[in-house]
Amino acid sequence: MGITDKLGKKKTINVALVGNPNVGKSVIFNFLTESYVDVSNYPGTTIEVSKGMLKLSEKEAELSSYNFEIVDTPGVYSVSNLSEEELAARDFILNADIIINVISVVSLDRDLFLTKQLADMGKPMFLIFNQLDEAKRRNLSIDLENIAEHLGLEFIAASAVKKEGLKDLRKTLINFADNAKIKPGKISKAVDNFSAPYQEMVLDRATALLIAEADADLAKKNDIVLPPEALQRRKEIYEIRQSEVHSLIDDNVAILEMKWTDKLGDLILNPYLGSIIAVVVVYSFLFLFLGVFVAGNVVDALENNVFKAYYEPFVRNVVSMVFPIDASSMANLAFTKPMTAIGTLLAGDYGVLTLTITYLYALLMPLVLGFYFGLALLEDSGYLPRLAVLTDGVLSSLGMNGRAIIPLILGGGCVTMATVTTRLLSTEKERLITMVLLGLTIPCSAQLGVIQGLLTNIGGFMPWLIWGGTLMIVFIITGFVMNKLVPGDCGHFISDIPPIRIPQLDNVFQKTWTRSKIFLDEATPAFFTAAGLVASLQVTGLLQSIINFCEPLMEKVLLLPKDVTLSFILGMVRRDFGAFGLMDIPLNAAQLVTVCVVLTLFVPCIATVAVMVKEKNLKTAALIWLSSWALALGIGALLARGLLFVF
Amino acid sequence: MRTLLKTDMNLNEVRPGQNFIIKFIPEDIELRLCSLGLRVGDIVSCISRNFRGPVVLRKKNSFSQLAINHNFAQSIAVNVK
Ligand SMILES: Nc1nc2c(ncn2[C@@H]2O[C@H](COP(=O)(O)OP(=O)(O)OP(=O)(O)O)[C@@H](O)[C@H]2O)c(=O)[nH]1
């Protein structure tokens, strides 16, 4: 328990934010701790548990006799040990001193079931009826006072995204010791009868209740053998709870009208109209917004009009005052003219101060910001769960289910982050297949932008069609074959669908910035290291030797000039490095499309491989890595020959 | 034993716009659906049905929607109103 009496130190109170998925726990966590965890309009955003201290002003800190540790628990519908998230949430609930139950007023009929279960646990508890703005917008009539009174709990009504109503929450927590606002709720009599016998055995009421609800894990930990009728008892308890919720809703909630956003949400789910909308959304986002606007206009303007026109010449001038720069005779420069080698390393073709900075800020940054901005809009609007519904049928035949669309789309931002997100999938089989498809066929945002830049240079829709079509075919065949070969179950899609919302721009901007920053913080040192490495290879003459060594593979197998070797070497480190210098190599249309396809299919970056090892094991990661080599080169060889007839 | 009425059908057969009562939920998903707010006796309407994909339901007097995968939908019996 959190109340510990360390010498001279304030006691720490453990506060667990508990609630159904998507009710606004993370927004409230961010408000209380003044930190940032991801907030998204799809169930299951919180797959990692976040902890933080309640941020107190100096005055508040003086007044408060406690410190408060806030835990943002994964969203759950009940705490019955049915899933991994429930298990994680359950443990935090059992350890908490205070439970703050966050409830969405728009889905009270769903949320109050968990509330009843938490109240039955008998822990000090407090309710936040959140998303009040949504209820007002929909003219929803709810008697919150009556509901709270019935539950025997105190509440605040809030619109967390607008920061409305949350000040009272801080006050309530800070004055925790002196007020009776945080207290156990009314315990259902009928349920109490079931848990009473266990309470004598385990002393803790919450644990006793969960054991009565057939929590086998807790029973085992407490040396209790569950009787054969335990599951039937759980069913009875659930029935009692659900009936109580039903009558609470019938007595206190009246839905007056559906809004246009609700109707739009329904239309998006229509298989025909929804598919057309999906094509329009993907086309507008990936092609028009990211490809044409960001990769074309923004990157072009930044790269050519700012960085190449002013920044690089300026750096070269400054560096050349001290170190000569030699772009012509690179080999052995390190041994023959060391000062020139340093100058070239700093400000030469692949210089750490020239190309690296241009790449990072003129190319990578706009692309990453653009991708995460678009994704944040899609997430916050509630579109992604609908896309999951639309794609469930197709993904099921590839060994996954609709939920897999979320990591697959996130992969378009960063495959490494998306690989971590595969945790939200429920079976090993679908996780493995999603991981493989992510590593193999999904380009990350930076790589996507570079590829878009290259394809846009060729002009027309044909290059796009060939690139996208090839990836799609590989995606489908790989998924189909793996579905047949990998044993196990691909999980079943049962999910609640959040309402369509107008995205909250501050949340969208914050999310875009936070995710882009994480990506760039990780990419920047790696980029500098890689640039330094390439420049070193260049000035020592080693680069040329490697390129010569790979010449047969490039020229004979992939029908590409040998200079492309560098892109592949760097692509192994980070996928986006694969474009390093590629823009400067003269390639014809067929070669450009081949390079784009091979680079996309080529091995996942080192960070993704590391995550695969962590999430699966070394053998699986190695197998995925080697297969992508073989597949990329095999398909590249075939495509290169086929494209001779197209362009 | 559940008695089949003339208007009984499986959930995967309902059409968008139809209202119906949930008659039977198999045991393996009963608790999961119960914690999501759906149980036998509930009045629901069908929002969409995707080919080999999920059926999306909305409960009467509720904004919450629930997507139930094709296989499970096949095992849930409903009575169309
Ligand atoms: N309109 C409105 N939207 C809100 C409010 N609070 C949260 N949201 C939105 O609800 C969605 C879910 O918010 P989160 O904070 O991620 O919810 P969560 O409960 O942490 O979700 P999980 O991590 O899935 O358990 C986001 O799109 C938020 O912008 C609110 O008061 N009003």
A468 vs B81, which has greater pLDDT? A468
Per DSSP, what are the bridge partners of residue A98?
Answer: A15
Cβ contact, residue pair A249, B52, below 8 Å: no
Q: Hey, what CATH class is A11-187 in? A: alpha beta
Name the residue among A235, A262, A496 with its Cβ closest to that of B30.
A235
The two beta strands, A50-53 and B43-49, are: unpaired
pLDDT < 70 regions, chain A: 1-8, 36-48, 81-82, 176-181, 256, 327-336, 573-581
A305-356 pLDDT, tens digit each: 998 899 988 998 898 888 877 765 555 666 667 777 788 778 877 778 887 8
Ranges of H-type helices in chain B: 27-35, 70-75
Nearest partner of A185 among A248, A251, A234, judged by Cα: A248
Which residues make up the CATH 3.40.50.300 domain(s) of chain A? 11-187
Choosing from A28, A39, A103 the residue with most ligand 1 atoms within 8 A of its CB, the one to mutate for a pocket test is A39
pLDDT at site A58:
83
**The model scores a pTM over 0.90:** no
In the stretch 111-130 of chain A, residues with CB closer than 8 A to chain B read 113-114
Find, in chain A, the residue whose alpha carbon is nearest to that of B72: A492
Name the residue in chain B with its Cα closest to that of A252: B61
Q: Where are the beta strands (DSSP E) in A389-504?
A: 494-497
d(CA B10, CA B8): 7
Structure tokens at A198: 């266990």
A130 lines ligand 1 (CB under 6 A): yes
ipTM entry: 0.89
What's residue B7's pLDDT? Answer: 60
pLDDT the model gives residue A2 = 40
Q: What is the pLDDT of residues A307-317, one digit of tens each?
A: 889 998 899 88
Radius of gyration of chain A (CA): 29
What sign does the dihedral A236-A238-A239-A244 (CA atoms) show?
positive
Residue to substitute in A46, A138, A161 for testing ligand 1 pocket (most ligand atoms within 8 angstroms of CB): A161
For B33, half-sphere exposure in the C-beta direction (CA atoms, 13 angstrom radius) is 25
Cβ A45 under 6 angstroms from ligand 1: yes
Asked if the model's pLDDT at residue B5 lies above 80, the reply is: no
Interface touch B36/A77, C-beta < 8 Å? yes
Strands, sheet with A50-53, edge to edge from the N-terminal-most edge strand:
A50-53, A66-72, A11-19, A98-104, A125-130, A155-157
Residue A330, pLDDT score: 54
Residue A35 has which token pair? Answer: 């930190």
Rounded alpha-carbon distances, angstroms, from residue A415 to A467, A609, A618: 19, 10, 18
Q: What is the DSSP string of A521-560?
A: HHHHHHHHHHHHHHHHHHHHTHHHHHHHHTHHIIIIIS--
Mean pLDDT value of segment B10-26: 92
**Predicted pLDDT of residue A574:** 67
Residue among A78, A265, A492 whose CB faces B69 most closely: A492
Would you state the structure tokens that stand for residue B58, as one six-digit string? Answer: 């909305």
Which pLDDT value is given to residue A203? 73
Distance A43 CA to ligand 1 centre (A): 9
DSSP reduced 3-state for A564:
helix
Question: How far apart are the CA of A276 and the centre of ligand 1, in A?
Answer: 28
Chain B residues in contact with A23 (beta carbon < 8 A): none
Q: Are A258 and B62 in contact (CB under 8 A)?
A: no
Note the pLDDT of residue B1. 45
Decide the pairing of beta strands B8-10 and A494-497.
Answer: unpaired
Superfamily the domain B8-80 falls into: Ferrous iron transport protein A (FeoA) (2.30.30.90)
